[in-house]
Amino acid sequence: MRQGAIYLLTDRPDRSAALETLIKAIGQCKVVGSSEEAVGYTKPCAIVSDLTLTRREAVSRLRAFIPHGKAAEIPLICLLRSTSDRDLRLARDLGATVCFPAYTAPHIVVNALLDQIGPDESDPKILPVVQGVTRATEVLTGLFDGVRDGGTIALPQLDASLDPILSAVREGGLNRWLETVWTHDDATYQHCLLVAGVAAQFVLHLGFRTEDREHFVRSALLHDVGKARIPREILNKPGRLDADETTIMRQHPVIGYEILRDSGCDATTLGAVRHHHEMLDGSGYPDGLVGAEISDTVRLLTICDIYAALTERRSYKPPMPPRDAMAILESMQGKLEMRLVQRFGDAMLAS
Ligand SMILES: [Fe+2]
Ligand SMILES: [Fe+2]
């Protein structure tokens, strides 16, 4: 069992909230705001500094929390407002063991923290989850960045993240996966990771063969890749899109299909990406497919996609409880295959 708490020192508590959530998932976390002193303080097992180190008082506050003369023995992760040589030197002088830019995703910071302090015996299951989310995010980031610049997709790189996702959900459970992914800042990545996690739980529950599981999770991870070429102001707009914006947004399945076709992707994944917004009654898009024209993979993926979209966490809206999301899926009779919706509900309950 780890001795001492992980201290999170922050002068921007709003931005640190997601990091706090994730640190709490791996151990005891004490958050110290910008005006609090080291009163009642016990020796930390690690310190994460989210302070503006160019401010002298921030440096003094951080020093007050580092056990005297023992700096090198305590993992100290510094999130830096700038990564200039001066700031990096300052952080190293304070005993920083790892430095990240301030905007680094929380799970990457926590992954580094786990590397330094080891998983807590009280929750060894969080480790594969943090590793799985980190791996999948790296892959998604490379994928979206490459596609945004007009490139194609390196499918073998993507495939290397499928087993870590399935292992994370199998060993850590879907709830830990969702809690970790919900801390993600970027709405599109958060959504793709949610769909991938939910999809993994679904196929594990359905007892798919390894190869079929990976194939399905791959479709889930890729399904919205066309959004890489949708303007960010539309993607990240809080609230409803207007008619013109909706028209642009609705191009993403075809854009994704074309990117993947040019990348040499297989037909099942191509179909899943192009058709994940189709509905059995023909009311979906882009091709208005009806009934038997919609493959089983697409039927499964559409359910995962809608559920993930409903339960997403955004700064501007409260998350929808899973039970309410399931009620919406169940109300979509005629559009979704109800037999699969029921199996999906069972899979979520079993998580
Ligand atoms: Fe989509
Ligand atoms: Fe989606």
> From ligand 2's centre to the CA of 124, what distance in Å?
31
> From ligand 1's centre to the CA of 277, what distance in Å?
6
Q: What is the pLDDT of residues 297-328, one digit of tens each?
A: 999 999 999 999 999 887 677 779 999 999 99
Instruction: Tell me the two tokens of residue 200.
Output: 């993994």
| Ligand whose nearest atom lies closest to the CA of 188 | 2
pLDDT of 272 reads: 96
| Ligand whose nearest atom lies closest to the CA of 304 | 2
pLDDT of 39 reads: 61
Instruction: Tell me the two tokens of residue 61.
Output: 């506050």
**Alpha-carbon distances, residue 162 vs 144, 167, 226 (angstroms):** 17, 9, 20
The torsion defined by the Cα of 61, 64, 70 and 75, in degrees rounded to 10, comes to -40
Chain centre distance of CA 4: 28
- pLDDT under 70 in the chain at which residues? 1-2, 35-41, 69-72, 119, 121-123, 315
CA distance 265 to 260: 5
CB 205 within 8 Å of CB 346: yes
Q: 64: helix, coil or strand? A: helix
pLDDT of 302 reads: 98
> From ligand 2's centre to the CA of 34, what distance in Å?
39
Please give the domain boundaries of the chain with CATH numbers for all domains. Answer: 6-117 (3.40.50.2300), 126-349 (1.10.3210.10)
pLDDT of 165 reads: 92
Backbone angles phi, psi at 234, to 5 degrees: -80, -45
> From ligand 1's centre to the CA of 276, what distance in Å?
6
CB 55 within 8 Å of CB 66: no
> From ligand 2's centre to the CA of 99, what distance in Å?
33
pLDDT of 128 reads: 83
Backbone angles phi, psi at 47, to 5 degrees: -125, 135
> From ligand 2's centre to the CA of 222, what distance in Å?
9
Helices (H), the chain: 13-26, 56-65, 85-93, 106-117, 126-148, 155-159, 162-167, 174-181, 187-206, 210-222, 232-235, 243-249, 252-262, 267-275, 296-311, 322-330, 338-349
Backbone angles phi, psi at 270, to 5 degrees: -60, -45
**Alpha-carbon distances, residue 193 vs 179, 200, 299, 306 (angstroms):** 11, 10, 19, 13
Q: What is the pTM of this model?
A: 0.79
> From ligand 1's centre to the CA of 249, what distance in Å?
9
CB 138 within 8 Å of CB 111: no
Half-sphere exposure of 87 (CA within 13 A, CB side): 18
